[in-house]
Structure 1
Amino acid sequence: MDSLNGFVVFVQVAETRSFVAAGRLLGVSASAVGKSVARLEEKLGVRLFHRSTRSVTLTAEGMLFLERSRRILAEIEAAQQELSHASSAPRGRLRVSLPLVSSLVLPVLGEFMRAYPEIELDLDFSDRMVDVIEEGFDAVVRTGEPVDSRLSARRLGTFEMRVVAAPEYLAQRGTPQVPADLLHHTCMHYRWPTSGKLQTWALRQAPGEPELQLPTSMICNNIETRVCFALQGLGITYLPEFAIHEPLADGRLTLILGDYVACSGVFHVLWPASKHPSPKVRALVDFLCAHVFPNAVAAG
């Protein structure tokens, strides 16, 4: 058990980058934390942290050991949960990374909190590609197909992309009839956080036609800004349909170039692969699959 406690202390220090903060969370002194880490380093025969008066950072060996330690602690937690009563309520902290699509996930997460009051949600909203295991997430929701063999995945559902604008904008500037008409309009774009490139508007064109270099009247890195500006009649933008379902239904936004848009996407929920995922992770995965796209057929 002393060795297990050493793993817990090490992971806490690695996540907080501070002996003092780790001690505060664990209910012990910073000195006790330092001694525990020192004993672990002596036992392993490697230095796990670079220490200075200002910071505590992981060594290369420490980064490797952190990944393994998280797996060990996750397996121990899962084993403990398996040995407890199957009917016991899922509980504990659940660290989840989610895309910057609050309109899609926030209502569902609110329902999840009501259904599982003993689960403490720790939510990180970002469109960047996180390392689920290295950064200690219990689960992530992302678009695209899963590529990390260390992760299990379930499909949440698909969505279509749409080109839209407010009726006021179209009344003033005219309605594009073919993709090339966009060259004479105010176009609002999304920039991918990982590459810095602008999202391509996937529009069907005749064979041999060059790719359109659309005007870049506004660039941002989230959905809400483009929805807001489009509703104000400031331009045309390219958005997932789930983010603009209500404005399209009530007429505040108008669908344009519908016959030319040729793009759809898929959401997955991913979590570290394990024979025995914890009840809290299973609860979240099942809940998201049932409620994010309620009419979709979830697949592994």
Structure 2
Amino acid sequence: MSVNMSISTDSLGALSVFIQAADARSFTVAGRQLGVSSSAVGKAIARLEERLGVRLFHRSTRAITLTPEGSLFLERCRRIFCEMEAAELELSQTRAHPSGVLRVSLPLVGMLMMPTLSAFMRAWPEIELDLDFTDRLVDVIEEGFDAVIRTGEASDSRLMTRSLGEFHYKLVGAPAYFKQYGVPRTPADLATHRCLLHRYPSTGKLEEWFVVGAEGTPIENLPRAYVSSAIEPLLNMTERGLGLACLPDFAVYDRLSEGTLVSVLDEAIQHSGTFRILWPSSRHLSPKLRVFVDFMAENLFADASS
């Protein structure tokens, strides 16, 4: 699509409205975010379509969707605003001191990242972390987060992403537990042990341990001594010698080093994951978000990998 148009302040405003509507997939939501009526958004889009000579959205009474031309135009608009934001940041970089509020959503297991998050707060005291811990699927753009940290693959094309590192799971227990119940030497031995299991609060399903037996098949139907929808109680009960738990290595590294927990069956545990940080692709990395991303990538798994 070839578009011949002069870039003016009004044009940039129309492009901004278009991007907001495309991200929100709703004129009403876009209007609420911009502080104007949905009809004002609709009229701005209509004027833009008339000027371009193409239809940008398919409209229905329930939703709006981009036309092929709209999708192509959206990518071009994103690049325009990213270049403008990058230029502004480049000019101010030499005098920029990262500061202000940084809103970040983390999964519930992210509470175990508090040592790293606390270290970040000490390193960058002028940045105020506003942390939201939840396992629900949040809408980064709609809910106004600067970034989210999640496990798994990124699937939202509106977001940029960077890997913070891979973590592995450890099957751990306290020395007092092993003294009372013995040490499992093979995966099959877990059938006689007290297993502390995690239930995903979002789905209600139990998290698998991915313990592989001698035949190369997963060990299933582990005996349940306790089930929790949060990781912290499992960690606490494991330290108290009440059972075995399969937990992320970054959550138990210090306890393994101190000897309050001991890992077993390391070769049989085939469970890992990747933490990623995601942020809106329409925004260039601000100084406060850039230092946060770099710090978490460099420090989150530093102990576990050393």
Q: Does structure 1 residue 92 correspond to structure 2 residue 100?
A: yes
Deviation at 1:119, TM superposition (A): 4.3
Does residue 183 of the first structure (1) align with residue 191 of the second (2)?
yes
**Aligned counterpart, 1:173:** 181
The structural deviation recorded for 1:120 is: 5.0
Question: 1:233, CA displacement in angstroms?
Answer: 1.1
- Closer, same or farther: CA 170–258 of 1 in aligned 2, 3 Å: same
Residue of structure 2 equivalent to 1:255: 263
Indicate whether 1:117 and 2:150 are aligned.
no
Give per-residue Cα distances to partners, 1:110-158, cap 9 Å, x unaligned. Answer: 3333415144534344365x3333433221222233333332323x222
Confirm or deny: 8 A CA contact 1:79 1:276 kept in the other structure: no
Equivalent position to 1:202, from 204, 208, 211: 211
Task: Specify the code of the residue in structure 2 equivalent to 1:121.
Answer: D
One of 140, 143, 148 as aligned partner of 2:148: 140
Matching residue's letter, 1:235: G
Partner residue, 2:231: 223
The separation in 2 between residues aligned to 1:289 and 1:81, in whole angstroms, is 22
Letter in 2 for 1:220: S
Uncovered stretches (5+) of structure 2, i.e. residues with no partner = 1-8, 17-78
In 1, Cα distance between equivalents of 2:145 and 2:139: 8
2:259 aligned counterpart, secondary structure: coil
Residue 267 of structure 1: which of 275, 280, 286 is its match? 275
- 2:114 counterpart of 1:106: yes
Q: Structure 1 residue 153 and structure 2 residue 137: aligned?
A: no
Query: Is 159-168 or 139-148 further displaced after alignment?
Result: 139-148
1:213 aligned partner, one-letter code: E
What is the aligned residue count? Answer: 289
Q: What secondary structure is seen at the aligned counterpart in 2 of 1:107? A: helix
Match of 1:214 in 2: 221
Residues in 2 aligned to 1:210 and 1:151: alpha-carbon distance in whole angstroms: 37
Q: Calculate the TM-score normalised by the size of structure 1.
A: 0.66
Moved more, 208-217 or 254-263: 208-217
Q: State the match for 1:240 in structure 2.
A: 248
Structure 1 counterpart SS, 2:247: strand
Aligned residues of 2:197 and 2:245 also touching (Cα < 8 A): yes
Q: Distance in 2 between matches of 1:283 and 1:173?
A: 47
Tell me the CA shift for residue 85 of structure 1. 5.3
Q: Distance in 2 between matches of 1:259 and 1:276?
A: 42
For residues 17-60 of structure 1, the C-alpha deviation after alignment (integer angstroms, 9 at most, x for no partner) is xxxxxxxxxxxxxxxxxxxxxxxxxxxxxxxxxxxxxxxxxxxx
| 1:176/1:277 CA distance change after superposition, 3 Å | same
Q: Tell me if structure 2 keeps the 8 A contact 1:247–1:253.
A: yes
- Give distance in 2, aligned partners of 1:157 and 1:248: 20
Larger helix fraction of residues: 2
Is residue 174–residue 262 contact of structure 2 (8 Å, CA) maintained in 1?
yes
Deviations 1:201-233 (A, max 9, x none): 333x23x57643333421112221111011111
SS at match of 2:267: coil
- Structure 1 segment 56-67 matched on structure 2, within 5 A: none
Q: Which amino acid aligns with 1:159?
A: F
Q: Give the CA RMSD over aligned residues.
A: 5.0
SS of match in other structure, 1:238: strand
Q: Give me the whole-angstrom Cα distance separating, in 1, the residues matched to 2:254 and 2:207.
A: 26
Contact 2:250 2:304 in 1 (8 A): no
For 2:220, give the aligned amino acid.
Q
Counterpart of 1:246, as a letter, is D
TM-score normalised to structure 2 length:
0.65
